[in-house]
A = this chain, B = another copy of it.
Amino acid sequence: MVGMSGAYGGHSNGGESRAPKAAVVVGAPPPEMEMEMAGAMGVVHKVAAQPAQSTASKMKGKVKETFFPDDPFRSFKGQPLRAQWVMAARYLFPVLEWLPGYSLSLFKSDLVAGLTIASLAIPQGISYAKLANLPPIIGLYSSFVPPLVYAVLGSSRDLAVGPVSIASLIMGSMLRQAVSPSAEPMLFLQLAFTSTFFAGLVQASLGILRLGFIIDFLSKATLVGFMAGAAIIVSLQQLKALLGIVHFTTQMGIVPVMASVFQHTNESIRWPRFFWISACAPLASVIVSTLLVFLFKAQNHGISIIGSLKCGLNRPSWDKLLFDPTYLGLTMKTGLVTGIISLTEGVAVGRTFASLKDYQVDGNKEMMAIGLMNIVGSCTSCYVTTGAFSRSAVNHNAGCKTAMSNVVMALTVMVTLLFLMPLFVYTPNVVLGAIIIAAVIGLIDLPAAYNIWKMDKMDFLVCLCAFAGVIFISVQEGLAIAVGISIFRVLMQITRPRMMIQGNIKGTDIYRNLHQYKEAQRVPGFLILTVEAPINFANTNYLNERTKRWIEDESSSGNKQTELRVVILDLSAVPAIDTSGIAFLIDLKKSTEKHGLELVLVNPTGEVMEKIQRANDAHDHFRPDCLYLTTGEAIASLSGFAKMATP
């Protein structure tokens, strides 16, 4: 019954024979197995332990990976002190990296790009400020100071900084719950500045404390659903106002203007060739509609207009920051939500364009830059700003080279603030609504949603929940629900990890999941299980029950020849284990022994091996002869052993 199956031999130990210790006599599997272990080796390798490391140095390593995964100071090593100072200054002020080498040709590109985004920023700034229920001029102020701050501190070359629709919407709707912007405009403005201050504080703190990974919890799916929901809310709000007025003014030609704005802004992201049209459309709409209102005196026929705006630059507003306990909770909450949302947008936009142009954007540095920009902004009559996707796309397409394009934009806005404000007197509010709708409609990314549906149904559920939550409950709760589901899903993956039975792929030494690989075959007498998750408190009960049921099924079904003798637990895909997990392994070892079975562990990774060893210090549960480096070696070694034991 026991024969050598021929396709087996010491072939693999060719040239060098400095094989590791513990060579075990390997017998062949019984012939009825009809299986050759192609690469099977005559040697059994030891599972190495992690090199000894003190708790402190391990902690240091973990802290480093958690907070400094990008190792920002690695180029500092071995440099003279003076060079380190220069590098530190460059690290803190990225402007020092590009300004010394700045040339006229670069400036030409930046000038064109800066003027282009200014033509977009001015009408959008006015519109978004209205979306946040703030005076239109605040939107222009916010397009002047923050871009200058960002140009000094920011590391992205493509980000166009200014107010954005989503953060404006959130700030407006959250503050409106407590204070009416029409009844108490001054208080509302104060709350907006204070919220902006807190938003900046949150953003800068996340960057300084290097907690940038927190925004990673807003997944793509969450954002797609959230943006679409927010866009629909904004559009409906604006449309209500629009339709009310269109009713009076069908002859005003607003519909075609709106339609053209729609068309083009929407195209801007997809067909960069036409981006000039889309970039100029909002300004053109404003100019045309303002002229029309002025010529027809439409303000007397029911068209509401912006009205007179004072010339002049941002006034200081630090005296307007309101830390009154009555509103402190509200402003902190608003700051937190708008801060995180706008940070997510800014960092994502920065990363997108950095990856297009193949340079690196440091997430934590960006957070500090955006945060400082908002803190400075809150003291200079600005509300929350960040890098806007649509404007950055235009900036990129217009050929910007450095953050200088933001400076050009800011200077253009400055000129507008100083001299051109009277021109906006007759601008109809309705065209601002159209600009907003045109901008936010582009946020509804149906292809992305379809793609998510195709790839991953659970992700789509997250997307849908964010969408429905924002529309039917509220902006912040919709977001919280979506993040909650995302995290719950991650936890469920750990609570119910995949466990698989593996089989041998014929003619090889490879063991793979039986379900996925139809050509994989069970090895008689062995039950090869893999776990694909960290083993911890959240899943030990499940793993325990699941494993025991499998062993039970196996033990009861087999006949004498294929009787189960060995359970192999492949730990290759177990990155970590905790005390509960070790207790599970020990419990499994004992219970398999009770059933007369042998349990061996295959390929425990560093951390797991370390804990197994520590468990051994006390009770020697897992001796070296039940630890193997590969499933193949375990089977080869244990087949021989089993034969010797049963002559």
- A-side residues, CB < 8 A to B, are 5-8, 11-20, 36, 38-41, 43, 45, 48-51, 55, 59, 62, 65-66, 69-71, 213, 216-222, 351, 355, 358, 360, 363, 451-452, 454-459, 486-487, 490-498, 505-510, 512-513, 515-519, 532-534, 536-542, 545-546, 548-549, 572-576, 578-580, 582-583, 587, 591, 594, 603, 605-607, 609, 611, 614-615, 617-618, 629-630
Complex: chain B residue closest to A59, CB-CB: B457
Count of chain copies: 2
Q: How far is the CA of A474 from the CA of B6 in the complex (A)?
A: 70
User: In the bound complex, do residue A456 and residue B611 qualify as a contact, i.e. CB atoms below 8 Å apart?
Assistant: yes
A216 with B573, Cβ < 8 A, contacts A41-B39, A510-B630, A579-B456 known: no
Contacts of A43 in B (CB 8 A): 507
Cβ–Cβ contact B486 & A575, under 8 A: no
Q: List 30 A-B contacts (CB under 8 A).
A: A6-B14, A7-B14, A7-B16, A11-B12, A12-B12, A14-B36, A18-B506, A20-B519, A38-B41, A39-B40, A39-B41, A41-B508, A69-B542, A217-B537, A217-B538, A219-B538, A222-B537, A360-B545, A452-B579, A455-B578, A455-B611, A455-B614, A456-B579, A459-B578, A490-B494, A493-B575, A509-B509, A513-B606, A572-B572, A573-B573
Q: Which residues of B contact A487 (CB under 8 A)?
A: 491
How far is B454's CA from A582's CA once the two chains are assembled, in angstroms? 12
Q: Which residue of B lies closest to A632 (CB)?
A: B39
The 9 A-B pairs at the shortest CB distance, nearest first, are namely A39-B39, A219-B537, A7-B14, A532-B575, A12-B38, A573-B573, A7-B15, A516-B606, A11-B11
Closest to A575 in B: B532
Would B496 and A65 count as touching, CB distance under 8 A? yes
- Residue in B496, B506, B537 whose beta carbon sits within 8 Å of that of A221 in the complex: B537
Distance in angstroms from A87 CB to nearest chain B CB is 17
Query: Bound complex: CA of A539 vs CA of B493, how far in Å?
Result: 15
Q: Which residues does chain B contribute within 8 Å of A582, judged by CB atoms?
A: 455
- Residue contact B69 to A545, C-beta cutoff 8 Å: yes
Taking the nearest CB of chain B, how far is it from the CB of A21, in angstroms?
A: 11
Tell me if B36 and A16 are in contact (CB < 8 A): yes
Question: Knowing A363-B541, A573-B573 touch, does A219 contact B16 (C-beta < 8 A)?
Answer: no
Establish whether residues A512 and B629, one from each chain, have CB atoms under 8 Å apart when the complex forms: yes
Instruction: Give every chain B residue within 8 A of A574 (Cβ-Cβ).
Output: 573
Assembly CA distance A351 to B490 (angstroms) = 27
Nearest to A38 among chain B residues (CB) is B12
Best-buried of A220, A532, A582, A617 by chain B (most CB within 10 Å): A532
Q: Which of B65, B69, B220, B360 lies in contact with A583, CB distance below 8 A?
A: B220
Q: How far is the CB of A37 from chain B (nearest CB, A)?
A: 9
Among candidates B8, B66, B219, residue contacting A536 with C-beta atoms closer than 8 Å: B219
Contact check, A575 vs B497: say whether CB atoms are below 8 A apart. yes
Write out the residue numbers on chain B whose beta carbons fall within 8 Å of the beta carbon of A456: 578-579, 611
Contact check, A534 vs B493: say whether CB atoms are below 8 A apart.
yes
**Residues B606 and A515 in contact, CB atoms below 8 Å apart:** yes
Contact A546:B48 (CB < 8 A) given known A11-B11, A490-B491, A575-B498: no
Measured between alpha carbons, how far is A49 from B516 in the docked complex, in Å? Answer: 6
Contacting residues, chain B, for A454 (C-beta < 8 A): 614, 617
Given contacts A18-B507, A69-B496, A71-B549, could you give 18 more A-B pairs where the C-beta distance is less than 8 Å? A7-B14, A11-B11, A12-B12, A12-B38, A12-B39, A38-B41, A39-B41, A45-B505, A50-B516, A70-B549, A220-B580, A221-B579, A456-B578, A459-B578, A459-B579, A493-B576, A497-B575, A532-B575
In the complex, are the beta carbons of A48 and B7 less than 8 A apart? no
In angstroms, Cα B68 to Cα A549, docked, is 13
Residues in B neighbouring A606, C-beta threshold 8 A:
513, 515-516
Q: Which residue from chain B places its CB closest to the CB of A455 in the assembled complex?
A: B579
Task: Tell whether, in the assembled complex, residue A542 and residue B219 are in contact, meaning their CB atoms are under 8 Å apart.
Answer: no
Q: Which residues of B lie under 8 Å from residue A39 when comparing CB positions?
A: 12, 38-41, 509
B609 contacts A516, C-beta separation under 8 Å: yes
Given A45-B510, A575-B493, answer yes or no on A587-B14 (Cβ-Cβ < 8 Å).
no
Cα-based distance from A548 to B533 in the complex (angstroms):
25
Knowing A51-B515, A65-B496, A494-B490 are in contact, say whether A615-B537 is a contact too (CB < 8 A): no
Q: Which residues of B contact A69 (CB under 8 A)?
A: 496, 542, 545-546
Which of A15, A43, A546 has its CB near the most chain B CB atoms (within 10 A)? Answer: A15
Residue picked from A12, A495, A540, A591, most chain B C-beta under 10 Å: A12
How far is A62 from B546 in the complex, measured between Cα atoms in Å? Answer: 14
Provide the residues of chain B in CB contact with A491, threshold 8 Å.
487, 490-491
Instruction: Establish whether residues B572 and A515, one from each chain, have CB atoms under 8 Å apart when the complex forms.
Output: no
List the B residue with the shortest CB-CB distance to A69.
B542
What is the minimal beta-carbon distance from A500 to any residue of chain B, in angstroms?
8
Interface centre among A6, A486, A487, A490 (most CB of B within 10 A): A490
When chains A and B are docked, how far (Å) is the Cα of A495 from the Cα of B11? 44
Q: Given A7-B14, A541-B213, A492 and B533 touching (CB < 8 A)?
A: no
